[in-house]
Chain A
Amino acid sequence: MKATLKGLPTMLYTIVKKNILRIKHSRTSMAVILFGPIALMLIVGLAFNTMGLSGIRIATYAEEYPGFADTVLANIEEHGQQFSITKQTSVEACTAGVQNGDFHMCLLFDAANESVQIHVDYSRMNLVWTLLEVMNSQFKQEASMIGQELTRGLLAELDTTLLTLQDNSGTIDSLGENLVSFQGQLDAITQSLDELQIATPQGGFGDVMNTTNDTRVQLESSHDHVSTSLTAYRGRIETAETDIQNAQESVGAERENREAIYESVNRSYDAMDCDLKNPQDLTPLINDPEAFELALDGDPTPECSILLTMKVNLESSIEDLQRMELHLEAMEDEMGEARDEIDLLQAEADTLYAQSSVQLDATEQAFGDAEAMLEQAQNQTTDLLERKSELRKQLQELRGAAGEGAIAIAGMNTSLATVVAGLSEAGKISPEQIASPFDVSVKPVTSKELQKLDFLFPTLFILVIMFVAVMLGVTIVNKEKASRAHFRNFITPTPDSLFIVGNFLTVMVLTLVQVIILLLLGLAFFDVHVLPVLGGLLCIILAAVAVFSLLGILIGSIIANEETSTLAGIIFCVILFLFSSTIVPLEGMAEFSKLFVQINPFFISAELFRKQLIFGANMLQSPEMILVLCIEFVVLAVATYGAWALIRKRF
């Protein structure tokens, strides 16, 4: 009797039938399931059939009402019974009235600043935005009228400006011409500047100074050399003089010696009278023929001859010695002269050296001064060149600026012409056009003619089926857990998975009944075109119902207590609803909330349903959403199976 595959469908059918029969026998449950959605849609349909407002009470306060306040308030009151206006005596009374709920809004006018503050109770979110929209439209209308008045004044001022501009256009032209002329002058100055040759003195006195130094060295060297030479010469002369004096002494001594000898010889000679016998010189005897004959014919004796010879030799040598002495004297004199000359030369050399040194010092001084002056001149030239370059640059910039000025003036002239033309054109535009340059009208991005409430249908629809599926899931499991028969189910050979699937199918079936009712009601109360996209819608609905059913079954299975699990189901639905971009837009949420919204099955289902129903978009165009739903289905199925084991464990 094991559960076979063949028997599974009938077993499933039995479980589903049992669940439905249990609900059917419980008339209250049946009524809620069948009439709940009907009631909901009827209430929504009837209650929100009109989007107008009525019975809106407005409190106002101002120390002094500005001019526009009367007009605005009169316009608001023109709406008849929709709005009633009560003037309050203080700011506190006005705002407290809103807090207490006596008034829907409080308008505080400020005549000084021509402004109005609107105080509303933001806790009534559903009403606030509608009221603000109405108020904004009223104030916008009044602001538009005031804007038109201001525009008229502005246009008059523009006319005056236009005339002034036209009058002053010649001035700008001449300014442009002046700038062009100025540019020419600048060019001339630049050219003159370019022609101004400024050469930097080159070279220097370094070589000369070096030469002077070399000369000084050479001079000193020459002087030293001359001095040394002269001193050497002087030494030599003094040596020569000594030698000469020694020779003179020797020669004098020799001569005296020889003269003594001579005297002796001479005396001998004379004594022998040899003088006649042996003339020595015939020349003086020429005039004395006797002596001469005798000298020639005489018979001199050998002694006389010897004496004479001796005498002659002595005389000759004495004479030589005398000559020698004379020579030596002459030499000594010459030596003295030479020494004097050397001294003179030394003196001259010293004088010359001293003079040369002084001259060299003066020369060096002169070149040093010249060097400093040259350096100064070079610096001055460099500075001059820099200034010239700077001046040229400034001239070029000035020219560039003048050029840009000329272009700007040309542009200004063009702009002025455009402005003038524009102002001329502006003068032709009516103040109404300026104050309200374009009309804004909001159109739905669908070609279908839908009412405002019709856009609410997809969200409302998914919301209803979410609550129905989750709560049915929770209820079915709770009923099962509360039933005494539950234990008997566990001891039958039927596997747990079959009970889970059975419960799941029961919720699906019952929810789909609701879906059919809702779709029919949607056709009746909302101008939605279900039939053309019915296939796609059913796929989305099935996916959504499957996920929500499992979610409900899981919640019911995990939480043991019946009341707690019901409460948890409601809380879960509310969380999914709140994080669904229905109340707070997705774009206004924190980043982590956005992530949650992206996987929120309610958000995904409502989005797919909305796109399909309103825009006719195929659900396959959002594959990532389908994928998320599929993943969630699998995760929930696995978790539910685990939770069922938990229930079994609790027995």
Chain B
Amino acid sequence: MEQPATQPTGQAGAPKPLITFSNVQKRFKEHEVLKGISFVVYPKSVYGIIGPSGAGKTTLLRLLIGFYTPTEGQILLEGQEASKVPSETIGFATQENSFYDELTCLENLEYFGKLYNLSKAEIIQNAAANLALVGLSEFAHTPAKDLSGGMKRRLDLAISIMHQPRLLILDEPTAGLDPKLRKQVWGLIKKIRDRGITIVVTSHLLTDMEHYCDQVAIIHDGKILEAGTPFQLKTAYSKHEEIRIETAEGRYQDLFRQLQAERVPIAYSRLDEHLLIIYVPEIENTIIKVLDSIKVTGQHLLDLDVNRPALSEVFEALMNQQEQSHLKEDKRGKR
């Protein structure tokens, strides 16, 4: 799903940004959570915000929905201050399912539709459409508590867009889901985006973000370290190729030993659910050795994917930069 930036900036005739963060700061008493954040989000795109826990992602989203107001700086949504934008403009879904477990799917949709002051007809129509969109039409009268994890997540998304917002904010929408369900959710997000809804999403799953986001911003310690399309970031920061290997047996430890025996120059590797991901300086010789190693270890290849350097690598690089920068600052401070 590698793709270039969907909204080239600085070109004539480029669409107006839907969201503009200008040097936004947010302090809670003495604690400064956001330290001068600036970025723009264009309409009908998926904008990913990546960052470790405590980086300020949730605060940023709450500023966006107008739940908080910035201490300094400005947030514009469709050209208006975010806090003054009608709440109907925005849909929001947290990492936990925000609906009533005791109510049925339809009752939840109706309830929140009514809270957005939708007419009865709109409620009926939107509920049916959204249930169909998330594939829960059959479960309209099933209590939410009886749904599976993936269904609940889908229901949550359906509720979030019940009032047809122009902006959907998703806070860790795939947290706690298995890869299959994650894929479903991301597919759903894509469908929603295809309906013309701009999506701002946070996640710590960098691979997903890389695959499904049009643009990403890497946030750390209340500051945006880098922003752009995944491609732009990877090109700027990566020195390695990424090879994603999936075998039927999943004996990745044996495979890794064999690759080392074959003297494959692995810069670093990681396990991601059912995949073994390795990073290497060049791809051509390595592929042959990978295939040989799978054969030698007696496994059957299910999937082999070769990527440009992953976003995670960019992220790690940026994190390292930050750490080194902090160390330097500390040393200067001590001197």
Contact = CB atoms under 8 A, between A and B. Distances in A.
Contacts of B65: 491
A485 B100 contact: yes
A418 B108 CA distance: 95
Contacts of B213: none
A513 interface: no
A485 B102 contact: no
A108 B73 CA distance: 88
Contact of A488 (B99, B110, B118): B99
Interface string A345-377: 000000000000000000000000000000000
Given A21-B107, A651-B67, A488 B112 contact: yes
Given A2-B86, A491-B65, A493-B87, A485 B99 contact: yes
B67 A492 contact: no
A26 B144 CA distance: 13
A493 B162 CA distance: 14
Contacts of A484: 94, 96-99
Contacts, number: 76
Contacts of B97: 484
A489 B115 CA distance: 8
Interface in A474-494: 483-485, 487-494
A6 to B, nearest CB: 10
B163 interface: yes
Contacts of A3: 117
Nearest to B65: A491
B139 interface: no
Contact of B115 (A2, A14, A17, A23): A14
B112 A492 contact: yes
B115 A22 contact: no
Contact of B117 (A21, A26, A483, A493): A493
B92 A488 contact: yes
A498 to B, nearest CB: 9
A1 B67 CA distance: 19
Interface in B98-116: 98-103, 107-108, 110-112, 114-116
Interface in A1-44: 1-4, 7, 10-11, 14, 17-18, 21-23, 25-26
A109 to B, nearest CB: 67
B88 interface: yes
B127 interface: no
B102 A492 contact: no
A491 B114 CA distance: 13
A2 B117 contact: yes
A484 B156 CA distance: 11
Interface in A498-534: none
A22 B87 CA distance: 26
Given A491-B92, A493-B86, A22 B114 contact: no
A18 B117 contact: no
A18 B114 CA distance: 11
Contacts of B94: 484, 487
B82 interface: no
A332 B8 CA distance: 192
B197 to A, nearest CB: 16
Contact of A492 (B99, B101, B116): B116
Contacts of B112: 485, 488, 492
Contacts of B227: none
Contacts of B118: 1
Contacts of B108: 485
B159 interface: yes
Which of A7, A485, A487 gathers the greatest number of chain B CB atoms within 10 Å? A485
Contact of B100 (A11, A14, A483): A483
A493 B67 contact: no
A465 to B, nearest CB: 25
Interface string B284-325: 000000000000000000000000000000000000000000
Contact of A4 (B98, B110, B117): B117
Contacts of B116: 1, 492-494
A568 B67 CA distance: 30
Given A14-B115, A494-B115, A1 B88 contact: yes
Given A22-B100, A22-B103, A493-B86, A1 B159 contact: no
Which of A4, A17, A21, A26 gathers the greatest number of chain B CB atoms within 10 Å? A21
Given A484-B98, A487-B94, A493 B88 contact: yes
A487 B159 CA distance: 13
Interface string B62-102: 00011100000000000000000011101010101111111
17 contacts: A4-B117, A14-B111, A14-B114, A18-B107, A21-B102, A21-B107, A25-B102, A25-B143, A488-B92, A488-B159, A490-B67, A491-B92, A492-B87, A492-B115, A493-B86, A493-B116, A493-B117
Given A484-B96, A488-B98, A492-B112, 20 more contacts: A1-B118, A3-B117, A4-B117, A11-B117, A18-B103, A21-B107, A25-B143, A484-B94, A484-B98, A485-B98, A488-B112, A489-B115, A491-B65, A491-B67, A491-B90, A491-B92, A492-B87, A492-B115, A493-B88, A651-B67
Interface of A: 1-4, 7, 10-11, 14, 17-18, 21-23, 25-26, 483-485, 487-494, 651
A-B complex: 7 closest residue pairs judged by Cβ atoms: A25-B102, A492-B115, A488-B98, A14-B114, A22-B102, A1-B88, A484-B96
